[in-house]
Structure 1
């Protein structure tokens, strides 16, 4: 019995040592796990603000990252983006993306980043999957956007009040047209709102078609020569459902045309200034 009594204190000391070692291990683990957080937060913050150069500088391939981040924002026509950090360790971080796609609405997804630590410096391991999970080398993201056709409007006997009618969509090519020259001519010949058209041109990407007005053939033919002489003014022919005349049943049928600021607000977030909407 005296022998057992002498051995009890060392056992308690040993147990205390084990507990202390465990606590120290936990503290070390927590400290090393959070060391990447500042770098990831700076990367996501710069990406959110559209500062591709600053975000790319925090990766292991700045040139490829900057080109891809710029392409992500421009090709998807992103109005705003918020990339928020969810978790971070030494080798991986996860984030939540909340992206506003112009003319399409909000897009939310969960993403992740692989992290590297070289000589004590944390960097984002760049790959296309940073932009969206599952993207591989040589792949990127593109968007397509289509609007549904106008629904049929029938009289009380079921006959259509709107019939297919040839029209010409008069527009301009952004980047090639000079608004100071083209807009006054378009206003004089077609009666468009110059402020609306100027704003639409300013907000369009170079090379894109900016619709200005849709004219029936009888209204277009007399001004075709004048408009055709203006650099950057272009035409697209189409067939759309229209009433017999521009004023036929207007109070009942309404009309569709290039969006005004008021019509755009009423149409909601799924439409853009270059769309034809109900007026």
Structure 2
């Protein structure tokens, strides 16, 4: 998508509406099948499919029935954690009203979703006596590509656009939902590429081409560093929410950046821990 945008090479910004996009696949009556919902659905299904392939490789810490449980509980964790995290971190006024449950109107927190998934993994690991850290390794490999689909859906919706840029910037774009109609960074695509595609390819390569899967915590540590660093850097291009602009003014960093710093620190600690511990022994599989 970025290549297509850059190919314009024009001094004028690109107008989102000229790309022929719309936020839904089809509409029947008052119902719209929105790409944002499809992104969640396909992201979760893709993660489940790939996780099922991963556990067939040597060294798996779980069996298929555990993957099935994770699919169910992590889906709940993503949805509930993402929504509750959005309310807690960004819009506390949603608590106590029916607006909290209006998921179709948007508003999900990545950091809240991570917390929800960690709780889900903890429950499945405790109930089945599995190695929690190694389960996190396997789940983390599947997150970036699902995340990429979500950011692409944000772009298709014309939302979460970036900060203003000069109109002759190669990727400058005007979004119809922008009240100021300024040329802006299409930061949704930056995030899809960096935190989604690039990080996903790195984790896939580490899992399938190296023995990283045998070092408990290494994969999830790399994921945590990558996501935290990616979000921190991308926030320099992303427009802060209007009701959180004061955070940037007062601290110099956005709310998303402050939430990302602990992720980077935790990821570094986990990677160091994983490299100091001996690899797990042998290619033993979890019993079905």
With structure 2 as the length reference, what TM-score do the two structures score? Answer: 0.19
Name the one with the larger helix percent. Answer: 2
Pair member with larger Rg: 1
Higher strand share: 1
TM-score (norm 1): 0.20
